[in-house]
Each structure stands twice: as C-alpha cells, then as structure tokens.
Chain A
C-alpha cells in the first residue's frame, strides 16, 4: 500500500500547534504506518517536495519567505489544512496589524528602544510583510482547524477522516482560543 504523503509547515506561530500535533501521543505510532512525512520541521528534507497529498500549516504569513513557501506548498499539495488560530484568522501574530505602520513599529521597539548599545534595525533579514495574514487571504484553504492550539483529539479526528477519504465535519467540534 502506498503511504499518504503528508507535509507540515510552521510559519509565523509559536509551534504550539505542532506541539499539539505531537500531543496525539501513541496515535503517532499508528500515523507512521499510514503516512509518509515528506516535509516538516521534524524531518531533514530542505525543499518542499512535489505531489503532496496533505499539507498541515501552522501560523500566519508574516514575511516574504513565508509567502513564497506557502505559494509553493499550495501548488504542490492536494489538500491544505490551516491548523490553529494564527493560520485561521491571524490571532496573536496579527496583533501588530492594529498598530500604525505596525511592521516598522515592532522593529523600532525591539531594536532601537530596547537595545543598550548601538541600536539598529535589521536590514539583511527577510523583510516583514506590512501585515500578518491568515492563510486564506493568500492561498485557497481546504480545511480549517481553529484553536490556540487545537486539541490533539481534533487533529486526530481530521486526519482520520481525510485518510479515510471523508470530509471532516467541524461544526460543534472546534472553538477559537
């Protein structure tokens, strides 16, 4: 039997959703029999591969590198899942959006005002986007799993449904926060 090809991506989030994924505990052993992880912070593949069946994405889209990665991932994957509140609606990652020129304001605070010596704003790093975006503002999303983070049982439910070829029914199962 061919294993289902699964990728997990971590954009601008806190890793809590990936930790909740690991909180599936013993189910990970079952999962390893059914799926092949082809790209993830947990494995050493450096390029996002072709022909991915399911891609699970944590975090909002916060900088240009993440923008490129999510677009490549969308092209190469059949079903894309927004995992957790940052991916679903921006959550804490998007709090900077409320500030005037928020991308500059957060940089100024960290590098100019909170440095004891030679303050300077980083210039040779990937630029921040003006706003942090939830996934659906950038690419088409097939499934949403809200929560900060979503409970492991809910992640298990969605994966079980998808692996069985069914559409997960989220109504009444998920909540924000």
Chain B
C-alpha cells in the first residue's frame, strides 16, 4: 500500500515547493505537508554592505514583487537617515507600488490560476496553462497580457526599467520626478486597463455560480486577519497602521505602529516544521496566527476608498458571515478588486498637480543605528528591519516576508483539500491539481519566502472556531 503521494514540483506558483500527502493503511489521507527546498540567505550576506545598497540587493529577493521590497527597504533607510521624504516622492512610490500590485495580481489571476477556472480542475494538462489559454481563448489571454503590461509600464515609465528598477527608489525619496508627458501616457492607457478589469470582474462573478464547491471546500476556515490600513479604515498598501481582527470581524488590535512590530509579532519555530510562523504575541501561538494578503485586507477595511472598488466590495462581502469572507478560493476575487482599486487610485494620483513636483529627494547622512520599513506587498505585510554601524554599514538584518504570515493557513488549506479530494485508490491527476489550486489561490511568493527558510512541512492540526488548537497529529 502506498504510504505517501508527492506533488513535486508544485507548478503555476511563484517558486519552488512540493507537497507530500501522507496516507493511512486504508488509503485515506492522514495529513499533508508543504515543503520548500530553496534558500539564499539574504539576512546574513547583506552584513557589511553600505545601507544605501539595501533596496537594490533586497529587491532581488523577488522578481514578482521587487517594488514592495524596494519600498519597505527604502522606508527602513529613510528611518536610518531620519528624513521625512518629499510629498511628491511619496506619491510616486505609491504609484509605482500600484503598478506592481496590478501586474502581480494579474499574473496570479490570468497566467497562473485562470486556466483552472476556465478549463476546470480536471482538464488536460497540456491545455491547463497560459499557452493553452492563448490557443483556445486568445481574447482573454490578450486581456491578461495587456493588464499586466499596463502595471509593468507604470514602473518602467517612472523608473526606466520594469524589473529591479532599483536605481530610482532611494533612501530619502526617488531620484527623479515624473514628467507631465509620461504621466499623460500612463493616464492614456488607464481606461483600457480599467475596462479589462471591470469586464473580468463581471465574468468572474458570473463564473462563481459554477464554483460553489470550490468556495466551500478549497480552504474555507475561520482565522484572524492582519494588514495595514489608513487612519480612516480604508484600504492601504504603502503606509498606515496595522490592524488585526478575528474571524467574526471583532477588533483584536487596532492602530498598531508597524515599526514597533517586535512588540507584538514574534516568530515561532515548530519541532516538526522549518518554516517560521509569525504570530500576534498577546494571543500566543498558534492562537495568534492570522492570514494576510488581499482577502485579509478586504476583511479588515471598512471600505476601499474608491467608487468602483467600493461597489464591488459590497458584492464580495455577501460571500462572508458578518461580511468576513473565509474561503481561500475567494482570494482570487479579492485580488481583482484590489486591481480595480489600484487603477482608480493611480488615476487620482496622476490627475493631481502635486504628483509632478520637482522636489523628490531628501538627501541626508546616516543618523540612526536602526531603521524599520513596512509595506503591504501584493501578498501581505512585508517588514524590513536593519541595524547599521556609525559608517552606515549593515550589521544586522531581519526580513519578515508577506507569504510567511500565511504559513499556518496555507498548510491547513492543503491538508483540508487533500482530505476532501484525494483518493489514493482511484487517484487522478485532477485530485492533485485541486491541492495545487488552493496553493495558487494564496498566490504564495516562494522567491520571497526562500530568502530565509526551508520547511520540513506540517502535520495535521485541528482548531476550534476561536483558533484554539484542539488536536494535533504528529508523526
């Protein structure tokens, strides 16, 4: 009798991972674990580098969300040199980040997950990918390509390069302003991007009726949620305060200063897992674990703060109890809403004259020995924390990566889906694809994650509705 099933590599995700599904003697699924075998070690090898190299080096943690690293890193450096950066620089960094969220979410939705939605979880594997999409539905594929391109072009028009544009965002701001002409070019392409997003949302909403089962069984469980938010309770990706809510939407903590993260976030290491587990300290571990990313952000926010996204979030909330949406599958929906929000915000920023001010770079020397920068990356809260010596050389680095926060949830989802769908006696490829599909719903970024962890995986755990651990099955 087969004892375990391995999915290696998990495909159509951003990074290297494998899933091992453990079976009982009768062939039923006992548990599942998630394993990452790829590690580079940024926290150590950055030691000794001048602080101003950090945005450039750490953005190489990830080619999908390098702008989030640039921003978190530059904010940590802004703190090291003790400057308040010019307002136009804040606007331009925000705009660049929006470009990236648009492209990253589009990649996840169109290039990686949409083939499962369109062709079905059991479709032929030759077809079930972006190239199959190009062949069978070139219009949809072209929309995905155009939308991702729009996001990438925002970055390129600001910084001169699409990926690792690290000579533009610098400690103290950005190196050159946005010209009116380039701003107009971005604005000219915006309506098409918005139309694509609106029609995709409509299509997706209509498709959801076909996905009752996925919504119900692809990682649908209560959890806490964490993310940055504006002081008014609106959606935010660049700055803001941290908020944590529970599965019923009750506030656990509000208005937390993200630069004081060490006071309320700690990382646990389990004997049976090699991936660190961030948790909210006052609730302990594992009760203090939470989910991050698009679903969490929409659950936390009172509203998005832009007209179309605010209409759409009302529809989104209908899928939740008390308006709190729990199904992992609906991360896809949340992602599309965030694209719409970023397009609307980008439109606002581009239309305001303050965005085009010449003063964008506050130059200063190192004046503090420690700096922390926090941003909401596409996949959740990203923390960069540096210490430097008197010459501004890095002595210590800690990075807490967005994907890492979802560790508990992520593994729960894999185990739940395996238990529901995998039948070892009549194993089909589609059963395993469903396990992969729930991973895709989280859109984990394992490039980022591989900056510093490996994982031996996770055993089956059972929580009650309050997140208390009631059963753990350890091998």
Which of the 9-residue segments A74-82, A118-126, A160-168 touches chain B?
Answer: A118-126
- Identify A18's interface contact among B61, B63, B270, CB under 8 A: B63
Task: Note all chain A residues with C-beta closer than 8 A to B60.
Answer: 14, 16, 91-92, 148
Take A29-B145, A107-B41 as given contacts and tell me if A125 and B63 are in contact as well, using a CB distance cutoff of 8 Å.
Answer: no
Determine whether the beta carbon of A22 is less than 8 Å from that of B148: yes
**Choice from A14, A91, A102, A117 contacting B63 with Cβ under 8 Å:** A14
A132 to chain B, nearest CB (A): 8
Tell me if B134 and A28 are in contact (CB < 8 A): yes
- CA separation between A119 and B277, bound complex, in Å? 12
Known: A23-B162, A96-B45. A29 touches B38 (CB 8 A): no
Asked if A173 CB lies within 8 Å of chain B CBs, one says: no
B41 touches A106 (CB 8 A): yes
Check A42–B45 contact: CB distance below 8 A: no
The answer to whether B12 touches A41 (Cβ under 8 A) is yes
Contact with B along A90-128 (1 / 0, CB 8 A): 011101101100100111111100111111101111101
Chain A CB within 8 A of B411 CB: no
B271 at the interface (CB under 8 A from A): yes
Question: How many Å from the CB of A154 to the closest CB on chain B?
Answer: 13
Given contacts A42-B129, A44-B125, A115-B276, contact A149 B452 (CB under 8 A): no
Q: Which residue of A lies closest to B129 (CB)?
A: A43
| CA A136 to CA B202, docked complex, whole Å | 49
- In the complex, whether A25 has a CB less than 8 A from a CB of chain B is yes
Residues in chain A near residue B131, CB distance under 8 A: 32, 37, 42-43
Interchain CB contact under 8 A, A42 and B130: yes
Q: Would A43 and B41 count as touching, CB distance under 8 A?
A: no
Structural contact, B152 and A149, CB atoms closer than 8 A? no
Given the complex of chains A and B, what is the CA–CA distance between A26 and B146 in angstroms? Answer: 8
Decide: A120 and B164 in contact? CB cutoff 8 A: no
Known contacts A32-B134, A99-B45; decide if A45 and B37 are in contact (CB<8 Å): no
B271 touches A120 (CB 8 A): yes
CB neighbors of A among B262-289 (8 A): 266-271, 274, 276, 285
B397 to chain A, nearest CB (A): 8
Q: Does A156 contact B (CB under 8 A)?
A: no
Q: Are B163 and A149 interface neighbours, CB within 8 A?
A: yes
B11 at the A interface (CB under 8 A):
yes
Interface residues on A, range: 35 or more
Binding-face segment, B135-143, B171-179, B250-258: B135-143
Judge whether A111 and B269 touch: CB under 8 Å. Answer: yes
A109 to B36, CA, bound (A): 18
Residues from chain A with Cβ under 8 Å of B266 in the complex: 116-117
Q: Is the CB of A42 within 8 A of B454?
A: no
Q: Identify B268's interface contact among A14, A118, A123, A132, CB under 8 A.
A: A118
Distance between A111 CB and nearest chain B CB, rounded to angstroms: 7
Whether the pair B63, A23 counts as a contact (CB closer than 8 A) is no
Which of B129, B152, B452 makes the CB contact (< 8 A) with A44? B129
Give the residue of B11, B38, B107, B454 whose beta carbon is less than 8 angstroms from that of A22.
B107
Q: Give min CB distance, B4 to chain A, whole Å.
A: 14
Q: Do residues B455 and A13 form an inter-chain contact, with CB atoms below 8 A? A: no
Measured between beta carbons, the chain A residues less than 8 angstroms from B398 are 114
In the bound complex, do residue B40 and residue A96 qualify as a contact, i.e. CB atoms below 8 Å apart? yes
Bound together, the chains give a CA A113 to CA B13 distance in angstroms of 30
A32 vs B127: C-alpha distance in the bound complex, in angstroms?
A: 12
A63 within 8 A of B: yes
**A12-B40 contact given A32-B134, A44-B11, CB 8 Å threshold:** yes
Would you give 12 A-B contacts (Cβ < 8 Å), ordered by A? A14-B66, A16-B60, A91-B60, A92-B40, A93-B40, A95-B57, A96-B45, A98-B45, A106-B41, A117-B267, A125-B456, A126-B454
Closest 10 CB pairs of A and B: A16-B63, A106-B41, A125-B454, A122-B274, A109-B44, A126-B37, A110-B452, A122-B454, A95-B45, A15-B63
